[in-house]
Structures are given as structure tokens and as C-alpha cells.
């Protein structure tokens, strides 16, 4: 997915890589090569990526939300952001980007307010000392759902 010099840049993928499961990174590596889509993994630590002209790692300084801020500043309309971070998803949706989590769930303008509200409620419970448990393990169906959403985005981006 390469655009001519005088055209708008092709849509690209931004990955909130600090919390991205390795198996999802591997799916993204393969998809970037297969589809020729620029994919940038943003993390506040060194991240090894395969040698490819379509894949790059962007290491940002440590600190609260530094990687999120870097992604939010760079994501454009039509781009895809892969993140588990609901506030980051809300920020990039405002900019016209699309967002999915590593389980393949889409964040949309229609569902982001509800997702933010639930996240904030769970934060308040944890702050009050309530044990809420962590996320469930990533299963094969989650990987398939993610790969399916990714393939749909790639197909839709190719016709833009």
C-alpha cells in the first residue's frame, strides 16, 4: 500500500507495543509484509522487529502515557491503531483513525463513551480496594478475531 508522491500518504498501522501480546505482534509483522502496509510499533523500551521496509519500531522515553501521546500525535484519519488503552482509542478516534484491541474488538465513535465509562468505573473500584481481576488469557478465538479485523481494515484501506 504505497501512495504516489503527490497523493495523500497511505493509511498505516500504529501499535501500542508495550502491552501488545507477542502473538499479536507476530500477526502484525506478517500482515505488514504481506500487504505492504507501514506498521510502527511504539514502546518506551527497546523492541526487536524483523528487518523490513514496512515495519519500524519507535522507542519513546519512559513515563506515563508517553507512548500513547506519540501515537495520538501521529495517527491520521484512515490509520489503524492497535491498543488495549481505551483513552488512547478515544483520542485517535477523534482524529479519524480506527482502533482495535488485541482481541479484535473495535473501538468506534458509537461505543467509545460506554467503554470509557466502564473503564473509569473499574478504576474507581480498584482505587477503593476491590479486587477486579485481570484480563482473561488470550485464546485462539481472540487471535482469529484480531486477524479478521486486521484483514478487513487492510482490504478496506486498499480501496481508499
* Residues 13-158, CATH architecture: 3-Layer(aba) Sandwich (3.40)
Please check the confidence at residue 60 and state whether its pLDDT lies above 90.
yes
The alpha carbon of 96 is separated from its chain's Cα centroid by a whole number of angstroms, namely 14
What is the C-alpha to C-alpha distance for residues 54 and 25, in angstroms, rounded to an integer?
A: 14
Q: What are phi and psi of 59, to 5 degrees?
A: -95, 125
Q: What's the whole-model pTM score?
A: 0.87
In the structure, what pLDDT confidence band is assigned to residue 111 with cuts at 50, 70 and 90?
confident
What is the C-alpha to C-alpha distance for residues 109 and 97, in angstroms, rounded to an integer?
A: 10
In the structure, what pLDDT confidence band is assigned to residue 140 with cuts at 50, 70 and 90?
very high
Q: What is the pLDDT of residue 22?
A: 96
Domain-wise residue ranges, the chain = 13-158
What is the C-alpha to C-alpha distance for residues 119 and 85, in angstroms, rounded to an integer?
A: 10
Q: Contact 97/112 with Cβ under 8 angstroms? A: no
Q: Contact 104/80 with Cβ under 8 angstroms? A: no
In the structure, what pLDDT confidence band is assigned to residue 7 with cuts at 50, 70 and 90?
low
Q: Contact 99/89 with Cβ under 8 angstroms? A: yes
For residue 86, give the 3-state DSSP assignment.
Answer: helix
The grid coordinates of residue 17 equal 507495543
Amino acid at each position: 500500500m504505497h501512495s504516489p508522491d503527490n497523493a495523500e500518504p497511505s493509511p498505516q498501522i500504529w501499535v501500542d507495543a508495550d502491552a501488545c501480546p507477542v502473538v499479536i505482534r507476530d500477526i502484525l509483522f506478517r500482515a505488514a509484509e504481506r500487504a505492504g502496509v507501514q506498521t510502527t510499533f511504539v514502546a518506551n523500551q527497546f523492541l526487536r522487529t524483523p528487518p523490513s521496509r514496512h515495519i519500524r519500531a519507535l522507542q519513546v522515553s519512559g513515563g506515563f502515557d508517553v507512548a500513547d501521546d506519540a501515537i495520538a500525535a501521529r495517527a491520521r484519519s484512515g490509520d489503524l491503531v492497535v491498543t488495549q488503552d481505551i483513552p488512547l482509542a478515544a483520542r485517535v478516534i477523534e482524529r479519524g483513525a480506527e482502533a482495535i484491541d488485541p482481541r479484535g474488538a473495535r473501538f468506534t465513535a458509537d461505543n467509545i463513551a460506554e467503554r470509557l465509562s466502564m473503564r473509569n468505573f473499574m478504576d474507581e473500584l480498584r482505587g477503593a480496594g476491590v479486587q477486579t481481576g485481570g484480563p482473561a488469557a488470550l485464546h485462539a478465538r481472540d487471535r482469529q478475531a484480531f486477524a479478521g479485523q486486521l484483514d478487513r481494515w487492510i482490504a478496506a484501506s486498499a480501496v481508499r
